[in-house]
Amino acid sequence: MSIDKILSKVEKAAKKAGRNKDDVKVIAISKVQPLERIKRVLNRGHRIFGENRIQDSLNKWPSLIEKYGKIELHLVGALQTNKVKEAVRFFNVIHSIDREKLVFKLEVEAQKLGSCPELFIQVNTGNELQKAGVALENLEDLFSLAKERYSLPVVGLMCLPPIEDSPLIHFEKLSRLNKGLGLSRISMGMSSDFEDAIKAGSTDVRIGSALFGPRG
């Protein structure tokens, strides 16, 4: 599906939910996609992209930025503490903050750099054993460490619903948690469920395969 088609679906879903389309950011998730497909989206004027691996992004994006100008880059994948230094320098937004060790390291690197990407705290809303994201019972502590103690720019919460559940339940749960913490942005919704996510208040939808076609 073209980026124009996606944007028009997003606009329709926003309107249906009584929301403004400008309050929903579409992040084109370009991980493992061939360059021609990425350029096709860039050529339509889209400038917001997401990746899940730092090394791939460092290989791919500098030359595209040189050619196309400023791109807003989001990191949506797991972040290891030994990659924080690069992540803070390269990305505008990080969606996968889920543990104290990461917050400590971010604080150090942001101090050194004098700036910090916008941050989402990833929440394991399904309490899945193997899944990334902070457990529900640890969310408040992690939030207060990042936002209150270190004044890091936490803008919202993020989730990836368990595949076997209806995503809307998780989106609504995340939306309540987000409000409870007084946060204004929410990162939720992917190719198969972004319309439900918008209905539940998502401000940052992460769309990969519906836009670029299947990966690899």
Ligand X SMILES: *Cc1c(COP(=O)(O)O)cnc(C)c1O
| 116 lies in the binding site for ligand X (CB under 6 A) | no
- Give the nearest distance from C-beta 213 to ligand X in angstroms: 10
Contacts with ligand X, 48-87, as mask; x by CB under 6 A: ----x-----------------------xx----------
Residue span binding ligand X (CB under 6 A) among the ranges 6-14, 81-89, 144-152, 187-195: 187-195
- Give the nearest distance from C-beta 195 to ligand X in angstroms: 13
Work out whether strand 48-51 and strand 25-29 pair parallel, antiparallel, or are unpaired. parallel
Contacts (Cβ under 8 Å, ≥6 apart) of 85: 109
Exposed/middle/buried for 5, CB within 10 Å: 0-12, 13-18, 19+? exposed
**CB neighbourhood size of 68 (10 A):** 16
Task: Say how many residues touch ligand X, by CB under 6 A.
Answer: 14
* Given 38, 41, 73, 160, the residue binding ligand X (CB under 6 A): 160
| 191 lies in the binding site for ligand X (CB under 6 A) | yes
Distances (CA, A) of 129 to 77, 101, 111, 132, 138: 17, 19, 33, 9, 15
The span from the CA of 57 to the CA of 31, in Å, is 8
Binding site for ligand X (CB under 6 A): 29, 31, 52, 76-77, 160, 190-192, 206-210
